[in-house]
Structure 1
Amino acid sequence: MKLTLIAVASTIFTLSLSARAEDMPGMKMDGMEGMQMKQETKRAPVAKAEGTIKAINSEKHTVTIAHGAVPAVQWPAMTMAFSATAEQLTGLSAGDQVVFEFRSEGAKATVVSIKKVK
């Protein structure tokens, strides 16, 4: 009799844990609308390059740079436009030699830092 009661109690306990685990995905989130869930996003690494500014478009916040090969992102030498902030573009003009760091995410490359060499 004792053994039967222990077996029944163990079974009920195990089933209750299983039922609680199944309820978690359907857990009600009432009153939790304001909570922000922290989401891990993997950012593209920063790459470094040197080049010559060919054009600056202040309206579109882009700088076109003819740069050398960038092994960190497996790019050959080329001329391309990078997104940049107005602050980053201050004091720069076409023809300036620059060293810069950028992130490339998909088809978009964004300047992280840029400095005139000469």
Structure 2
Amino acid sequence: MKLTLIAAASTAFMFSLSAYSQDMPGMKMDGMEGMKMEQETKQAPVADAEGTIKAMDTSKHTVTISHGAVPAVQWPPMTMAFSVTEDQLAGLKVGDHVSFSFRVKDGKAAIVSIKK
């Protein structure tokens, strides 16, 4: 008898958790149309580094830079490709020593600013 009672109570409890976790279609969202979720508005932090341009690929919109350690993102010195716009590459060439800022998002690093 005790086991039957425990099983019934456990089943009822599990169903109540399931119902509690469902969407709340009756919840009023008036005045919230223009709000963005916090996750949507967050941007990855910008890190600063210095290095030497090793390659430029305008068709792939990348620049390969051999850079020093970047403590802001816990990176050791390395050579890697960064996404870059055509405008950011203007006036730069392979071999130039540059200071640059970049942002890492979804595992990809993109140049925010770059200068000799």
Q: Please, what TM-score do these two structures have when normalized by structure 1?
A: 0.68
**Could you say which structure has the larger radius of gyration?**
1
Query: Relative to structure 1, is the Cα distance of residues 64 and 25 closer, same or farther in structure 2, using a 3 angstrom cutoff?
Result: same
Write out the 4+ residue segments of structure 1 that deviate beyond 3 Å after TM superposition: none
Matched with 1:96 is: 96
Matched with 1:40 is: 38
Distance 1:54 1:105 in 2: 23
Q: Runs of 5+ in structure 2 lacking a partner?
A: 1-22, 28-32
Shift of 1:50: 0.2
CA-based RMSD of the aligned residues comes to 2.2
Matched with 2:107 is: 107
Identity among equivalent positions (%) equals 63
Shift of 1:36: 5.8
Shift of 1:105: 1.9
Shift of 1:86: 0.8
Matches within 5 A, 1:1-118: 25-27=24-26, 38-41=36-39, 42-116=42-116
Q: Deviations over 1:17-37 (max 9, x none)?
A: xxxxxxx92149xxxxxx665
Matched with 2:12 is: none
Shift of 1:40: 2.3
Q: Please, what TM-score do these two structures have when normalized by structure 2?
A: 0.69
Q: Secondary structure at the match of 1:87?
A: helix
